[in-house]
Chains A and B, each alone.
Chain A
Amino acid sequence: MSENILELDLASIVERVKRRELTAEIVATKFKGQIEKHNAHVNAFITVNDNAVERAREMDRKISNGENAGRLAGAPVAIKDMLCTKGLRTTAGSKMLHNFVPTYSATVVERLEAEGAIVMGKANQDEFAMGSSTETSYFGACRNPWNFSYVPGGSSGGSAAAVAARMSVAAIGTDTGGSIRQPANFCHLVGVKPTYGRVSRYGIVAFASSLDQAGPMTRTVRDAALVLEVISGRDERDTTSATKAVPAWGQNLSSNLRGMKVGMPKEYFDRGISDDVRAVVMRSADILKSQGAELVELSLPLTKFAVPIYYLVATCEASSNLARYDGVRYGYRADFSTQAAADLEEFYSRNRGEGFGSEVKRRIVLGTYALSSGYYDAYYKKACQVRRLLRQDFIEAFKKCDVILSPASPTTAFKIGERIDNPLEMYLNDIYTTSANLAGIPGMSVPGGFSREKLPIGVQLLAAHFEEQKMLNAAFAIEENLKLTAEVPHELH
């Protein structure tokens, strides 16, 4: 076969594997080769799954026995290291969990494997998903395959880099404030953050429980839809998971946008956007219009509060969610062999002090402070109140339009090391993405073009709760018109 397997999309791989035109073993071996060739430099994976090829062989046996191989048969996927994988080390990018091997898999992972996906490994990320560049990982920074001097974004940077570098055909990321959409945007990928509750959080290391959602990162909109179909749906182990039926998003994809209203909130275009980013978003708007959509003006006046609310809600929840990492039952424990802990407090402070990195500590301190008595009302409670208003703002906005089009982030990827010492500037990168998490609505990033330096630029699409189909259709229209899915990162040549 002369075609390059690494350039096939997920839908094609699954189809060929099922038709026995291609074996899952060959696919897995090919992608494994790519990992061996590039991972040392890209650092997309923290842990590589040594059983991937064996799993693929099992898949082939199933298929030759005429058994149902599943909707993702033979598709090599990367799993962000926030998701527990039974028997496969899960670190959350932290020293705290450097040795943690779960006895259970996240529901998302179970569902992927039940449909035949092959887990290639655990993708690098910012420590506990706290970051926008994958530089806070205890396992070292990850590089952007489009330019190795640049960050892939974050916190799901390893997932993005793995797909962009053809080490997997799809990846699972998690998105608490933009952690799927921003790296997808930086790496020329489709990244979907589903409606809160669409995807079970069971077995996913919790960062901010009321904001976290897992979602797919792929090279095409259809692939994203197919993976999303598999991982969505009610899970009795997560009481916040929705009971809504899961539509056949992939099958229902349509680039005919007649009757669709596309809102462009003026607050998302007023400052700080680079010219390249603005041009790409405007071009996407033109495409949507050409496909029959109507552009409408929109105002989301509470947008300016999104980042501050986000950093209160997320840090408060994180300060409590990360309390379980105490070195008592699992994970990192300081070396007390030469000097025993004087008391319980020293035991805790050494385990946690040595196990957590500085960004994680910063957020634990912020959250602890904001929840403490005397400050709770002014910070956490107030943030929750404004969050409800923000959510209402979106509900109102979606009475006037079907999807919202905006930049995914103000600029293209930045250089490794460039912002790591300026947390505030790093936080402001989330300005367009955090609102969706706070409101609980679905959002996605879809490739829109490139900057003059040939760095990817994506656009963001948002929809009302459980209206993923609408934003997927708009993204599909942009993708079909731009015809950029075949672009390969130059660093790989």
Chain B
Amino acid sequence: MSSTSNWEAVIGLEIHAQLLTESKMFSADSAAFGGADNEYTSPVSLGMPGALPTINRRGIEYAIRMGLALNCNIRTRSIFSRKNYFYPDLPKGYQISQFDEPICEKGYVDIYLDGQPKRIGVTRAHLEEDAGKSTHHGDYSLINLNRAGVPLLEIVSEPDIRTAQEAAEYARTVRNILRYLGVCDGNLEEGSMRCDCNVSVRKVGESKFGTKVELKNINSFRFVEKAIDYEIARQISSIESGERIMQETRLYDSTKNRTYSMRSKEEAHDYRYFPDPDLLPLEFEQAWVEQIRKTLPELPLEKAKRFQAQYGLPEYDALVLTQERAVAEYFEKVANLSGNAKASSNWIMVELMRELKESEKSIEEQKISAERLAELIQLIDKGTISGKIAKTVFAEMWAQGGQPGEIVKTKGLVQVTDKSSIEKWVDDVIHANPNQVNEYRAGKDKLFGFFVGQIMKVSKGQANPDLVNQLLKEKLKK
């Protein structure tokens, strides 16, 4: 593949977020996951003759919440339209969506990549209903309409994104905001959040857009990056070998890490949008929007800025700790109880997050409460245990639960600060290693660490490191 340096990619994302309402967008059916096949249906969601849609107020409220968090203009009058197309899992033969006059428009999201901020425009965010699910079994297909009618918020970005990394970071940021607001659980793997990417390439300096290709079937943030990188390379190499890019939809195959054309023949879709005559224009008071604005939580980026200022955290730590609302809240509790924000941040970001990642658990699902982690940090700070011992205690807390103080007591892990005991360990180690002592005294300073290690070993890690250092230095001088 030739050099990509004189090419630039233009990327826009369409994120579909399933809203966490109890019932569907236009009917009273449950919007819960699972259920027996076609259990969550009614004449409305089955598209039976004469059945009519009604609007779910909670769905509107969630759209407004997200719209506000995306810095959008909230339209107090918006229109539901019909998007007409035939597919067996689309019961009415049209999807109720928004076309002209969507509920949210003209917003933006700030993302951080390698510490650099970038603002991505949000063209619009509109409400629509999900379709059902078809499964194919040889010569027949089955349809499950439990998902048909579940509310979706489609968030459309401006083509402001230039790299795959930016795209993935934008998607992560939007996901974090959705989760903070509690309007969507943002799970790409399970499809509660879907991410379609529009990708085109053009020569650097060109102001016209190239022909865009839509990528679908991307079910992780890592794949957002990989699929776009693949697609950019594919488009550049196609153009350079004299081909023309076709406007099409391509599916991403994560096992082969490539995209392939979804349709064998070129299909011109004409959705014949028109305002749904079954639903009056959606109108509400600006006061409702203001009321919702007041209930918005502190959003990830605001929180990260506050963490930097209030707790003196580095930017990186603050950004990591604020990605998940639950983690951020956990951190604040530990930091406030322990009185040591930097240590709290380190324990959470290094030890706790590693365990969470390995066990695929969320912070709510594990055994170490914020109070107990704070207690552990205090035990170190008070000199009761060393940092090294603390790791042992932490491992025990992770596996079995329990209070750190208790664990230290029952396992006899209290730090030894008694000078005579430590002196004995130091003497023993010096006597046992005469050669090393001679070498050290001859100027090989590096060996100091070796002696410390040996002493910690014989003391089972319990020796107070400061005292060890002090005594060892004195004795080795002699």
Interfacial residues, chain A to chain B (CB-CB below 8 A) = 82-84, 90, 92, 97, 100, 102-104, 106, 201-206, 208-210, 236-240, 316-317, 319-320, 322-324, 326, 328-330, 340, 344, 348, 368, 371-373, 376, 380
A368 to B94, CA, bound (A): 13
B387 in the interface (beta carbon within 8 A): no
**Which residues of the other chain, B, contact A239 by a CB distance below 8 angstroms?**
52-55, 278-280
**Which residues of the other chain, B, contact A316 by a CB distance below 8 angstroms?**
274
- With known contacts A209-B278, A323-B92, A323-B94, A102–B49 Cβ distance under 8 A: yes
Contact call A324/B52, Cβ cutoff below 8 A: no
Question: Which one of B55, B92, B139, B270 lies within 8 Å of A324 (CB-CB)?
Answer: B92
Q: Interface on chain B toward A: helix, strand, loop, or mixed SS? A: loop
Contact call A328/B143, Cβ cutoff below 8 A: yes
Question: Which one of A90, A323, A344, A380 lies within 8 Å of B93 (CB-CB)?
Answer: A323
Contact call B48/A320, Cβ cutoff below 8 A: no
Contact call A320/B50, Cβ cutoff below 8 A: no
Contact call B272/A205, Cβ cutoff below 8 A: no
- With known contacts A104-B43, A368-B272, A317–B277 Cβ distance under 8 A: yes
- Chain B's closest residue to A323 (CB) is B93
Question: Which one of B50, B55, B92, B93 lies within 8 Å of A202 (CB-CB)?
Answer: B50
Contact call A324/B278, Cβ cutoff below 8 A: no
Contact call B270/A240, Cβ cutoff below 8 A: no
Segment at the A interface, from B82-90, B119-127, B285-293, B327-335: B82-90
Contact call A90/B143, Cβ cutoff below 8 A: no
Q: How far in angstroms is the closest Cβ of chain A from B284?
A: 14
A373 to B82, CA, bound (A): 14
Q: How far in angstroms is the closest Cβ of chain B from A345?
A: 8
- Chain A's closest residue to B88 (CB) is A328
Contact call B274/A204, Cβ cutoff below 8 A: no
- Chain B's closest residue to A380 (CB) is B274
- Could you pull out 26 A-B pairs where Cβ atoms are within 8 angstroms? A83-B50, A84-B48, A97-B49, A104-B48, A104-B51, A202-B51, A208-B277, A239-B52, A239-B280, A240-B277, A240-B279, A319-B84, A320-B82, A320-B84, A320-B93, A320-B272, A322-B93, A329-B47, A329-B143, A344-B86, A344-B88, A348-B86, A371-B272, A372-B270, A376-B274, A380-B274
Contact call A324/B50, Cβ cutoff below 8 A: no
Contact call A106/B280, Cβ cutoff below 8 A: no
**Which residues of the other chain, A, contact B55 by a CB distance below 8 angstroms?**
239
Contact call B86/A240, Cβ cutoff below 8 A: no
**Which residues of the other chain, A, contact B143 by a CB distance below 8 angstroms?**
328-329
B183 in the interface (beta carbon within 8 A): no
Contact call A324/B272, Cβ cutoff below 8 A: no
B405 in the interface (beta carbon within 8 A): no
Q: How far in angstroms is the closest Cβ of chain B from A283?
A: 39
Q: How far in angstroms is the closest Cβ of chain B from A17?
A: 30
Question: Which one of A201, A240, A317, A348 lies within 8 Å of B50 (CB-CB)?
Answer: A201
A43 to B93, CA, bound (A): 33
A50 to B270, CA, bound (A): 46
- Chain B's closest residue to A105 (CB) is B50
**Which residues of the other chain, B, contact A205 by a CB distance below 8 angstroms?**
49-50
A372 to B273, CA, bound (A): 8
- Chain B's closest residue to A313 (CB) is B277
- With known contacts A239-B279, A317-B277, A320-B272, A202–B88 Cβ distance under 8 A: no
**Which residues of the other chain, A, contact B48 by a CB distance below 8 angstroms?**
84, 102-104, 330
Q: Contact mask B134-155 → A, CB, 8 Å, 1/0?
A: 0000010001000000000000
A216 to B166, CA, bound (A): 63
Interface residues of B in 48-90 (CB under 8 A from A): 48-55, 82, 84, 86-88
